[in-house]
Structure 1
């Protein structure tokens, strides 16, 4: 389960892979179901996410260190790690702009990482469990903040987050060049075959990254935009009934 060489041979859309995605969607449904239940459920969900997110991040590094695999490229500077830090901050302190960023990089990107994972280990290897649990927890945390903490997203947040991510990407790109890493996948696509594999190379790779980021942010906004429209309509209808 913790071996470096054992339990390899991950297959895309295998039974284990599809089963993991089904469990993730079931967890999303459960989270939404309990949104109007007793306050105790909110606290249980909050502290479960609060504990599991850093536990995944820390245990991943511990496994790499204990198996003599840790390298400078394993520093917690990928989008997944950044999303984890943002979530931890939001659990401790309410901040709308931080949530905007967390929403756009912590919803669809982790899900896409689960659909086309950079993974070689099969279930129930530790790396398999940690990877999918970690990437599942991020969208679940997003749902928690929306349904339990009442966060919302204005349409202008799309541009705000796109610009913010590009600002963050500048020092990350420079760091990649200096120490030979691939944080944010700004140096090259993933080693495994994922969506990034089809982005080309050179300048086209970065152009496609920018286009993909805008598309992903736009698609990510659609669900919460629809949800907010429905909630606003309900509020107007309720107000209209009270005034009539």
Structure 2
């Protein structure tokens, strides 16, 4: 892909990897601890717009970089990867302060970005290469976007949110299928397994691995929902013990 800066190949859980994860973690903790101040109307609007613009700018910078060095292709660069789609809907969610979009962004954003941050695929690039910064900034911002709305705006989810997100994900996959066929791409890994070793290698050959992949996606959405389920369960029992009827 060409280089803007030199660097050794990326290593999982190297010092720069851990440092990047710590920075993202600290930023999210700051949002949590300063959530009361961030709820002020002007401050909230400014922060949401800054995060949304940072998401758009980071993604556009990558598209421009790919075009400048001559590697942009419809097969890879269209916004049909899960994290690319999450980038777009997170930006819209922040601009509009949309709870409806949050119900999708939560699962797409955390489901895709957290996995990407913990097991990065940087095509061999490392700090201080541009790809390193773009990768961690973009995926970090996706997580920050979702948690900002959870911490600052107290957006909550019900189990039906899992079902809705799963249905929308499948609808998105239906849209992606003709895109894969027309471009020769492999968005959402619907046409073939990724070259790197992944969970899909244990789910059977194409196209049969798509069926258990559906189960894996649903299970991941349920796991992501658990913090809300546990919180609601604890709150319900606190209300019962304090004499407050549920739903009062």
Name the TM-score class by shorter chain.
0.7 to 0.9
How far residue 92 of structure 1 moved from its aligned partner, in angstroms, is 2.6
Q: What is aligned with 1:52?
A: 54
1:191-214 residue CA offsets vs partner (Å, 9 max, x unmatched): 344444544431342123212101
Unaligned runs of 5+ in 1: none
How far residue 128 of structure 1 moved from its aligned partner, in angstroms, is 0.6
Matches of 2:20 and 2:129 in 1, distance apart?
13
Determine if the alignment matches structure 1 residue 91 to structure 2 residue 94. yes
Q: What is aligned with 2:73?
A: 71
Unaligned runs of 5+ in 2: none
Note if contact 1:108-1:216 (Cα within 8 Å) is conserved in structure 2: yes
Q: What is aligned with 1:28?
A: 28
Determine if the alignment matches structure 1 residue 126 to structure 2 residue 130. yes
Aligned length: 239
Q: What is aligned with 1:112?
A: 115
Note if contact 1:117-1:194 (Cα within 8 Å) is conserved in structure 2: no
Q: What is aligned with 2:161?
A: 157
- Does the residue aligned with 2:195 lie in a helix, a strand or coil? coil
Determine if the alignment matches structure 1 residue 18 to structure 2 residue 18. yes
Q: 1:145/1:19 Cα in 2 relative to 1: closer, same or farther (>3 Å)? A: same
Matches of 1:197 and 1:101 in 2, distance apart?
27
How far residue 56 of structure 1 moved from its aligned partner, in angstroms, is 0.9
Q: What is aligned with 1:82?
A: 85
How far residue 237 of structure 1 moved from its aligned partner, in angstroms, is 8.6
Q: What is aligned with 2:230?
A: 226
Normalising by structure 1, we get a TM-score of: 0.86
Determine if the alignment matches structure 1 residue 143 to structure 2 residue 121. no
